[in-house]
C-alpha cells in the first residue's frame, strides 16, 4: 500500500521467456511470462578500472545473487556484447524484451529470469534466501563457447552456455544449419543453476563415491527443471488441452530439452521424464540411474494429479469417465490445470525441502527417499492428498529403497529420531548454537547490500586428459567463506564444541574419534508445526575426512552427519552418511572404472580424478 | 569344402597362406585359400598412415601385391573401413587397372545408397570430405585448421592431426573401391555392402568367388548408436568446410550488439586467460576429429571366414560398440570364440579387443598376427598395448608383429628383408 507518491518500487518484475525450446515454440504459444521478485539491476563495467566511467561501456548487469556477463569466448578474440538494461522503463513496461532467438539481449534476459525463478523456488521451499558461497554472485554467460553443451563451473562460479549449429543433414525439427543457443532452453538453465545451488547446499556432494552421487546430481537437476516448467500455468493449460487432460500424453510437459536432442541429430528430445519401469538395479550408468529417479518422482506426481482430478472427470462425464470427443471444455481444462500446477509445486517444494534432511556426503537414492518422506511429514503429517504415498510407491516400483529402513511404511522411512541419551548432554550447547543461528539470520536480513562480487579470478585449468572432450569442470574443495560476524561466531562455537569432546564421547555420538572436523556448514530453519506455530531450529553438517586405501594408495574421503536441531537444543534427527569403510567396495569400483577402458584394459592415461563430479549439462554416456 | 585326405601329414592343399605386409601403421593382408575349385586369393585392406610408414609406399605396396599375384586375379578385395591407414593403397588407380578383382566387400555404411535409410551417414560423409579439405596439396594442414586447434596443447594438436589425416575422404581410393575395380572380363567387380541383411544378427553368406567358404559377418552393427563412441558433433558448421572454424570467425551477433573495442574497460569481469580457458570448451576440430575416428572405426567389418576347419577372425578396427554387440549375442560370441586364427584389431590398441574375450572366450594358444608400428604421442602411445600382448602371452597365443617379425615354428616365416611375414593356417 503506497503511502507517498515517491513509493514506486515494484514488488515483482515480469519477464518474458521461452517456456519450451524455441524450435518447438515457434508457434509463439509456448512463451511464458515469469514473475520474479523485483531487485534493482545495475549495469557494471566489471572490476574497478582506471579509466573514467564516461569512457568505458558496462559489460554486465548484476542483481544481488546473480549477474549476467555476455562474452563470447568462442573465437580467438573474445567478443563482449552489450548488457541489457532491464530497469529501463521502455523495456520494463512490456514485461521485458520480446522473445527472439537473434536478440542477444533477450538471451541475457532469459537466463536472468529463469535463474532467479529457480533460486526463488529454493528460497520458498527452504524458507530462507539462498546465497552462494561467500555471498558472491553466480555468473551467467549466455554465449560462452561454441558447442552443444552448458555447464556449471564451480571454480569460476559461473554457468557457461554454449551455442551450435543444427545438423545440416539430420536437424530434426530445426532448420538445417540453424544456430541453436543452449541459453534459450528453460530446462538447461534451470538444470545448471540447480547444480550451482546443490553445490552450495551440500558442498561435499562433489565427491562421487558411488554412481548414485553423480546420478543424484543429474536426476535432481532434471526434477527441478521439469517441475518448474509445470508451474507455468499458461503452458500447462495449453498442453493439457492438447493432451485431453492426460499429463503423460503431453510430450511438451514431459520432455526435457526437446530442441537439443533434435539439434544433435538424434531426432528426439534429450531426455524424458517418462520412463518405462527401469529399476535402479538394472542400470549402473549414472545418467540412466538419474533418469530412474526422475521417472519415479514424475510418476508420483501424475498419479497424484490423476487422483486429484478424478472427481473433476467424474463431474464432467457424469460418472462414465469417458471424456467427450474433440476439445475438452475450457472450464474443465482450467480446473485440471490448477490441479496440475498445484501438485507440481508441491512435489518441487517437497524435493527441495528434502535437502535439509540429507546427509552431508555420499547421497544415495534411499537417503533421498527418506529425506523426502521426512520433509513432507514435517509439513503435513496426514498426507491427505496421498502424494507422499504415491512417491513411495513409484520409488518402490523402481527399486529405490532405503535398505536400513526395513520396510516401506512411512514410519520406517522417516529418519531416525535421535535417541536422547546420547545427545542429551549437549542440549545446552546446541541451544546456544540456535541462538547464534537466529542472530545470524537477523544480521543477514539487516545487511541488505551484497558483498562485492569482484573478487580475484580463478584460472580455468586446461584439458589434461586425452579422453575428455573438454577441460575439466570438476568440483573443487570447499573454500573458506567471507562471512558475517555471527556466522563466524557460530562456526567457532561448533568447532570448539567438537574439539572439546573426548575421543570416547565422539565415538559414542557416532563420529570418528580422531579426525578433525571440517569447516561446518549450517543454516537456521523454520518449520510450521501441526498447531500452526512456527518453531525455529538449526541444521548443521558435521564432516570429517576419513582415509581409505584405494587401489593401493591412501585417499581421503569426506564423511559426515547432518544434525537437525530443535529450538530447545534437542536433536530431532540425525542423518549420518554410511561409513567410508562400508563403502570401500563402491569406491574401489569407481576408481577401477575411471582407470579402465570400456573393453577392460587399464587406460594409459587415467582420468584425473575418478571421484569428481562433472557438472556438464549434456553428458555423453560412458561407452 | 576341400576334400579331406586321409593322410595325417600336413598337405599343402590343406593350408591357407596369409601374407602380412609390413606397411607400418596400417593393414594389408593377402590370403591364399585352397578350395575344391583351385586356389582363391583375397586381399584384406591395403594402406598405411603417412606418419607411420613401414617398408612400402603406396605405389610400392600395390606393385608388390601385383608381383605376388603374378597375373592371377584377386577374387575378393575387402576394405574393412574407410580409414586411410587401411585404404590408401586403393588410391593408386593406374596400378589397380591391371589387377582383376572379382568382388569388393565394404561395410554397408560406405554404400552411397545407405544414406537413404540413415540420413546421419550423409553428415558423416560430409565431415570426411571436410577433413579432406583441411589438407593442402603438400600434405600439410591448412592455416585455418591449425588456428582452430591453436588453443589446444601440442600433444592434442598432433593427435588431432593424426586422426584428421586418417579420416580424409580419399576420393581416389574410395572411388576405386566403389566403382573403379573391374573383373577379368571387363565388367565392374561385384560390390557387397556387408552385412547385406541388416534385419538379423549375425549373418552369414557364401559366394561363388570363394567356393566352400562360409563368411560370417559380426559387424558393423546395424544400430547407429553402436557405431560411434561419441555423439555426432554438434557444430555442424564444420560440415561445410572445417576450415571456417579457425578463420576470424564473426561472432554470430552483428556489430551493433557488441561493445566496441575502444570502449572496453581495461579490467574486465573475466580475464583474458580465463576466456582462453573457456574457449577450450569449444566443440572444435579436435572433437570432430575424435568423433570421426570413432565413427570410422565403428564401421569396421568384423568377419569370420570358415574355411574347412579353420576360422579366421578378422575384426578390422572394430571398437567398443561392435564388440559389445558381439559379446552380448550368443551366436556371434560363439562364432568369434571359435576362431583358430586372429588378426588383432586396430593395431593392438586398447579399444579394439575386449580383455574378457582374450582371457575367457578365445581358446588357448590361438595364433595371431598384429599389423602395427610403435610411435610417439598421445594417439600412438599404448599401440600396441603391452597389457594386451601380455595377456596373449599368458594364454599361450603365438603371435607375430609386422614391425618385429620372427619365425615361429608351424606358424610363420618372415621374409629376409622384413617386408612381410608369411603365415600358414591349417584347414
When the pLDDT of each residue in chain B is averaged and rounded to a whole number, the result is: 85
Question: Per residue in B333-388, pLDDT tens?
Answer: 999 999 999 999 999 988 888 888 999 899 989 999 999 999 888 788 888 988 89
**Mean pLDDT computed over A567-572:** 87
**Nearest C-alpha of chain A: how many angstroms from B382?**
7
Q: How many CB atoms lie within 10 A of CB A380?
A: 15
Instruction: Tell me which CATH code domain B15-245+292-426 carries.
Output: 3.60.15.10
A236 Cβ under 8 Å from any chain B Cβ: no
Residue B291: pLDDT band by 50, 70, 90 thresholds? confident
Q: Where are the alpha helices (DSSP H) in A230-386?
A: 233-242, 251-254, 258-263, 286-317, 330-353, 365-379
- CB-hemisphere CA count at 13 Å for A444? 19
End-to-end Cα spacing for chain A = 60
- CB-hemisphere CA count at 13 Å for A459? 4
Q: Which of residues 224-263 of B touch A (CB under 8 A)?
A: 229-232, 234-237, 239-240, 246, 248-249, 251-253, 257-260, 263
The candidate with the shortest Cα–Cα distance to B109, out of B237, B223, B235, is B223
- Three-state secondary structure call for residue A154: coil
Question: Per residue in A372-424, pLDDT tens?
Answer: 998 888 877 888 888 999 999 999 888 888 777 667 777 777 877 766 577 88
Q: How many CB atoms lie within 10 A of CB B150?
A: 12
Q: List CB contacts of B82: < 8 A, sequence separation 6 or more.
A: B107, B110, B128, B170, B174, B296, B299
Q: pLDDT at position B239, please?
A: 37
Alpha-carbon distance A309 to A304, whole Å? 8
DSSP state of A22: T
Residue whose entry in the numeric block shows the C-alpha cell 612381410? B420
Determine which of B119, B126, B234 to mutate to test the interface with A (most A C-beta atoms within 10 Å): B234
A593 Cβ under 8 Å from any chain B Cβ: no
Q: pLDDT at position B265, please?
A: 86
**Nearest C-alpha of chain A: how many angstroms from B344?**
14
List, as one string, the DSSP characters of A515-545: SPBP--EEEEEEEE-TTS-EEEEEEEEEEEE
Q: How many CB atoms lie within 10 A of CB B203?
A: 16
Alpha-carbon distance B354 to A471, whole Å? 28
Beta strands at A158-165 and A150-153: parallel, antiparallel or unpaired: antiparallel
Residue A193: pLDDT band by 50, 70, 90 thresholds? very high
Peptide bond into B202 cis (omega under 30): yes
The candidate with the shortest Cα–Cα distance to B300, out of B112, B82, B132, is B82
Residues of B in contact with A47 (CB under 8 A): 265, 267-269
Q: pLDDT at position B16, please?
A: 92
List, as one string, the DSSP characters of A480-515: PPP--HHHHHHHHHHHHHHHHS-HHHHHHTTS-SSS
Q: Using the CB atoms, write b or e for A468-485: b if 16+ within 10 Å.
A: ebbbbbbbeebeebebbe
Q: pLDDT at position A557, please?
A: 86
Q: pLDDT at position B336, please?
A: 94
Residue whose entry in the numeric block shows the C-alpha cell 547432518? A562
- Structural domain boundaries of chain B? 15-245+292-426
Residue A453: pLDDT band by 50, 70, 90 thresholds? very low
Alpha-carbon distance A620 to A604, whole Å? 21
B273 Cβ under 8 Å from any chain A Cβ: yes
Across A155-169, B303-317, B320-334, least confident range: A155-169
Alpha carbon dihedral A183, A186, A189, A195, in 10-degree steps, equals: -160
Highest mean pLDDT among A256-270, A424-438, B17-31 belongs to: B17-31
| C-alpha distances out from residue A143 to A161, A166, A265, B341, Å | 6, 16, 21, 54
Check: CB of residue B228 under 8 Å from CB of residue B167. no
Check: CB of residue B11 under 8 Å from CB of residue B5. yes
- Percent of the residues in chain B that have a pLDDT greater than 70, as a whole number: 91
State yes or no: pLDDT of A12 exceeds 90: yes
Which of B123, B156, B387 lies nearest to residue A601, judging by beta carbons? B387
Q: List CB contacts of A205: < 8 A, sequence separation 6 or more.
A: A198, A199, A213, A216, A217, A361, A363, A613
Check: CB of residue B232 under 8 Å from CB of residue A264. yes
The candidate with the shortest Cα–Cα distance to A178, out of A187, A188, A170, is A170
Alpha-carbon distance B119 to A620, whole Å? 21
Q: pLDDT at position A51, please?
A: 74
Q: pLDDT at position A273, please?
A: 64
The candidate with the shortest Cα–Cα distance to B298, out of B227, B352, B198, is B227
Determine the angle formed by the axes of helices B320-328 and B330-337, rounding to 10 degrees. 100
**Nearest C-alpha of chain B: how many angstroms from A587?**
22
Residues of B in contact with A169 (CB under 8 A): 119-120, 122-123, 126, 236, 239
ipTM of the complex: 0.82
State yes or no: pLDDT of A566 exceeds 50: yes
Check: CB of residue B259 under 8 Å from CB of residue A81. yes
Alpha-carbon distance B373 to B351, whole Å? 16
Q: pTM of the full predicted structure?
A: 0.82
Q: pLDDT at position B21, please?
A: 94
State yes or no: pLDDT of B209 exceeds 50: yes
Q: Where are the alpha helices (DSSP H) in A59-185?
A: 89-93, 104-126
Q: pLDDT at position B32, please?
A: 94
Alpha-carbon distance A139 to A121, whole Å? 19
H/E segment holding residue A138: strand A138-146
Q: Could you tell me if residue A578 is left (phi over 0), alpha (psi between -120 and 50 degrees) or otherwise beta?
A: beta
Q: pLDDT at position B127, please?
A: 78
- Percent of the residues in chain A that have a pLDDT greater than 70, as a whole number: 82
**Mean pLDDT computed over B266-273:** 87
Q: A270 burial class (0-12, 13-18, 19+ CB within 10 angstroms)?
A: buried
B384 Cβ under 8 Å from any chain A Cβ: no
Alpha-carbon distance B399 to A535, whole Å? 76
Across A26-40, A458-472, B163-177, least confident range: A458-472
**A47·B269 Cβ contact <8 A:** yes
State yes or no: pLDDT of B213 exceeds 90: yes
Highest mean pLDDT among A93-107, A546-560, B137-151 belongs to: A93-107
Determine the angle formed by the axes of helices A365-379 and A387-397, rounding to 10 degrees. 170
Alpha-carbon distance A151 to A307, whole Å? 37
A96 Cβ under 8 Å from any chain B Cβ: no
Alpha-carbon distance A448 to B60, whole Å? 80
B392 Cβ under 8 Å from any chain A Cβ: no
Q: How many CB atoms lie within 10 A of CB B280?
A: 20
Residue B311: pLDDT band by 50, 70, 90 thresholds? very high
Determine which of B128, B154, B240, B268 to mutate to test the interface with A (most A C-beta atoms within 10 Å): B268
- CB-hemisphere CA count at 13 Å for A484? 21
B122 Cβ under 8 Å from any chain A Cβ: yes
Alpha-carbon distance A413 to A171, whole Å? 47
Dihedral angle sign, alpha carbons of residues A229, A472, A106, A51: positive
Q: pLDDT at position B230, please?
A: 54
Residue A158: pLDDT band by 50, 70, 90 thresholds? very high
State yes or no: pLDDT of B155 exceeds 90: no
When the pLDDT of each residue in chain A is averaged and rounded to a whole number, the result is: 80
List, as one string, the DSSP characters of B161-225: HHHHHHT---HHHHHIIIII-B-TTSSBPEEEEESS--SSSSEEEEETTEEEEEEEEEES-SSGG
**Mean pLDDT computed over B76-104:** 92
| C-alpha distances out from residue B306 to A88, B34, B37, B212, B336, Å | 78, 12, 16, 9, 11
Amino acid at each position: 500500500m503506497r503511502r507517498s507518491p515517491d513509493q514506486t518500487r515494484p514488488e515483482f518484475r515480469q519477464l518474458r521467456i521461452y517456456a519450451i525450446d524455441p524450435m518447438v515454440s515457434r508457434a509463439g504459444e509456448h512463451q511464458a511470462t515469469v514473475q520474479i521478485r523485483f531487485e534493482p539491476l545495475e549495469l557494471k563495467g566489471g572490476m574497478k578500472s582506471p579509466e573514467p566511467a564516461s569512457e568505458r561501456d558496462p559489460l554486465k548487469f548484476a542483481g544481488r545473487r546473480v549477474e549476467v556477463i555476455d562474452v563470447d569466448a568462442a573465437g580467438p578474440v573474445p567478443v563482449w556484447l552489450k548488457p541489457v538494461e532491464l530497469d529501463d522503463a521502455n523495456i520494463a513496461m512490456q514485461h521485458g524484451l520480446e522473445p527472439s532467438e537473434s536478440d542477444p539481449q533477450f538471451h541475457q534476459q532469459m537466463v536472468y529470469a529463469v535463474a532467479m525463478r529457480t533460486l526463488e523456488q529454493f528460497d520458498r521451499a527452504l524458507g530462507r534466501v539462498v546465497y552462494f558461497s561467500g555471498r558472491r554472485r553466480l555468473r551467467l554467460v549466455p554465449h560462452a563457447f561454441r558447442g552443444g553443451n552448458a555447464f556449471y563451473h564451480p571454480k569460476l562460479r559461473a554457468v557457461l552456455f554454449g551455442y551450435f549449429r543444427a545438423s545440416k543433414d539430420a536437424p530434426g525439427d530445426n532448420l538445417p544449419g540453424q544456430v541453436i543457443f543452449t541459453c534459450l532452453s528453460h530446462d538447461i538453465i534451470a538444470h545448471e543453476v540447480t547444480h550451482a545451488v546443490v553445490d552450495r547446499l551440500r558442498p561435499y556432494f562433489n565427491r562421487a563415491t558411488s554412481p548414485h552421487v553423480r546420478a543424484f546430481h543429474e536426476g535432481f537437476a532434471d526434477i527441478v527443471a521439469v517441475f518448474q516448467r509445470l508451474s507455468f500455468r499458461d503452458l500447462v493449460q495449453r498442453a493439457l488441452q492438447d493432451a485431453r487432460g492426460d499429463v503423460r500424453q503431453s510430450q511438451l510437459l514431459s520432455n526435457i530439452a526437446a530442441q537439443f536432442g533434435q539439434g544433435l541429430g538424434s531426432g528426439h528430445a534429450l531426455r524424458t521424464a517418462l520412463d518405462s519401469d527401469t529399476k535402479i538395479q538394472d542400470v549402473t550408468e549414472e545418467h540412466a540411474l538419474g533418469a530412474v529417479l526422475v521417472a519415479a518422482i514424475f510418476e508420483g506426481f501424475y498419479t497424484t494429479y490423476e487422483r486429484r482430478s478424478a472427481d473433476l472427470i467424474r463431474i464432467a462425464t457424469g460418472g462414465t469417465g469417458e471424456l467427450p470427443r474433440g476439445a475438452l471444455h475450457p472450464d474443465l481444462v482450467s480446473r485440471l490445470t490448477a490441479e496440475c500446477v498445484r501438485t507440481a509445486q508441491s512435489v518441487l517444494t517437497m524435493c527441495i525441502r528434502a535437502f535439509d534432511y540429507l546427509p552431508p556426503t555420499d547421497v544415495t537414492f534411499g537417503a533421498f527417499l527418506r529425506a523426502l518422506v521426512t520433509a513432507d511429514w514435517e509439513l503435513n503429517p496426514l498426507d491427505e492428498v496421498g502424494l507422499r504415498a504415491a512417491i513411495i510407491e513409484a520409488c518402490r516400483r523402481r527399486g529405490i529403497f532405503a535398505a536400513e529402513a526395513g520396510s516401506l511404511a512411512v514410519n520406517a522411512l522417516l529418519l531416525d529420531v535421535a535417541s536422547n541419551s546420547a545427545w542429551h548432554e549437549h542440549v545446552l550447547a546446541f541451544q546456544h548454537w540456535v541462538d547464534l543461528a537466529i542472530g545470524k539470520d537477523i544480521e543477514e536480513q539487516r545487511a541488505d547490500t551484497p558483498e562485492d562480487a569482484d573478487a580475484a579470478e580463478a584460472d580455468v585449468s586446461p584439458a589434461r586428459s586425452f579422453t575428455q572432450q573438454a577441460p575439466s569442470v570438476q568440483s573443487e574443495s570447499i573454500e573458506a567463506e567471507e562471512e558475517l560476524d555471527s556466522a563466524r561466531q557460530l562456526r567457532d562455537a561448533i568447532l570448539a564444541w567438537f574439539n572439546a569432546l573426548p575421543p570416547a564421547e565422539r565415538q559414542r555420538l557416532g563420529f570418528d574419534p580422531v579426525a578433525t572436523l571440517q569447516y561446518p556448514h549450517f543454516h537456521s530453519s523454520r518449520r510450521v508445526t501441526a498447531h500452526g506455530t512456527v518453531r525455529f531450529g538449526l541444521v548443521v553438517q558435521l564432516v570429517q575426512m576419513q582415509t581409505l586405501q584405494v587401489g593401493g594408495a591412501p585417499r581421503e574421503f569426506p564423511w559426515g552427519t547432518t544434525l537437525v536441531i530443535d529450538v530447545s537444543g534437542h536433536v530431532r534427527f540425525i542423518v549420518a552418511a554410511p561409513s567410508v569403510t562400508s563403502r570401500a567396495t563402491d569406491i574401489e569400483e569407481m576408481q577401477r572404472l575411471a582407470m579402465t577402458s570400456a573393453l577392460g584394459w587399464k587406460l594409459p592415461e587415467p582420468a584425473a580424478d575418478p571421484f569428481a563430479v562433472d557438472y556438464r549439462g549434456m553428458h555423453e554416456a560412458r561407452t | 569344402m576341400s576334400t579331406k585326405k586321409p593322410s595325417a601329414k600336413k598337405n599343402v592343399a590343406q593350408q591357407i597362406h596369409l601374407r602380412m605386409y609390413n606397411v607400418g601403421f596400417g593393414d594389408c593382408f593377402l590370403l591364399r585359400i585352397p578350395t575344391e575349385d583351385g586356389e582363391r586369393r583375397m586381399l584384406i585392406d591395403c594402406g598405411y598412415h603417412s606418419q607411420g610408414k613401414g617398408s612400402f609406399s603406396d605405389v610400392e605396396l600395390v606393385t608388390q601385391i601385383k608381383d605376388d599375384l603374378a597375373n592371377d586375379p584377386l577374387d575378393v578385395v575387402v576394405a574393412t573401413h574407410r580409414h586411410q591407414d587401411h585404404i590408401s593403397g586403393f588410391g593408386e588407380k593406374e596400378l589397380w587397372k591391371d589387377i582383376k578383382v572379382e568382388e569388393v566387400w565394404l561395410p554397408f555404411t560406405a554404400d552411397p545408397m545407405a544414406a537413404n535409410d540413415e540420413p546421419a551417414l550423409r553428415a558423416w560423409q560430409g565431415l570426411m570430405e571436410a577433413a579432406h579439405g583441411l589438407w593442402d596439396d603438400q600434405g600439410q594442414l591448412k592455416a585455418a585448421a591449425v588456428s582452430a586447434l591453436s588453443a589446444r596443447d601440442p600433444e592434442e594438436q598432433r593427435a588431432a592431426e593424426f586422426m584428421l589425416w586418417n579420416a580424409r575422404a580419399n576420393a581416389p581410393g574410395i572411388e576405386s573401391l566403389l566403382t573403379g575395380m573391374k573383373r577379368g572380363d571387363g565388367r565392374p567387380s561385384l560390390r557387397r555392402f556387408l552385412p547385406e541383411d541388416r534385419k538379423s544378427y549375425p549373418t552369414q553368406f557364401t559366394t561363388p568367388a570363394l567356393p566352400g567358404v562360409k563368411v560370417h559377418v559380426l559387424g558393423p552393427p546395424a544400430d547407429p548408436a553402436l557405431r560411434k563412441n561419441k555423439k555426432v558433433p554438434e557444430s555442424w558448421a564444420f560440415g561445410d568446410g572445417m576450415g571456417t572454424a579457425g578463420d576470424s570467425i564473426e561472432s554470430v551477433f552483428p556489430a551493433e550488439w557488441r561493445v566496441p573495442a575502444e570502449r572496453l574497460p581495461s579490467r574486465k569481469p573475466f580475464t583474458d586467460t580465463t576466456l582462453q580457458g573457456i574457449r577450450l570448451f569449444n566443440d572444435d576440430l579436435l572433437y570432430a576429429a575424435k568423433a570421426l575416428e570413432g565413427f570410422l572405426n565403428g564401421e569396421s567389418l568384423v568377419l569370420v571366414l570358415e574355411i574347412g576347419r579353420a576360422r579366421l577372425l578378422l575384426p578390422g578396427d572394430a571398437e567398443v560398440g561392435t564388440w559389445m554387440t558381439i559379446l552380448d549375442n550368443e551366436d556371434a560370441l560363439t562364432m568369434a570364440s571359435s576362431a583358430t586364427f586372429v588378426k588383432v584389431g586396430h593395431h593392438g590398441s586398447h579399444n579394439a579387443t575386449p580383455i574378457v574375450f582374450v582371457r575367457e572366450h578365445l581358446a588357448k594358444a590361438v595364433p595371431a598376427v598384429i599389423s602395427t608400428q610403435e610411435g610417439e604421442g598421445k594417439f600412438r602411445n599404448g599401440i600396441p598395448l603391452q597389457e594386451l600382448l601380455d595377456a596373449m602371452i599368458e594364454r599361450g597365443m603365438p603371435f607375430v608383429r609386422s614391425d618385429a617379425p620372427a619365425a615361429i615354428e608351424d606358424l610363420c616365416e618372415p621374409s629376409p628383408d622384413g617386408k612381410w611375414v608369411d603365415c600358414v593356417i591349417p584347414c
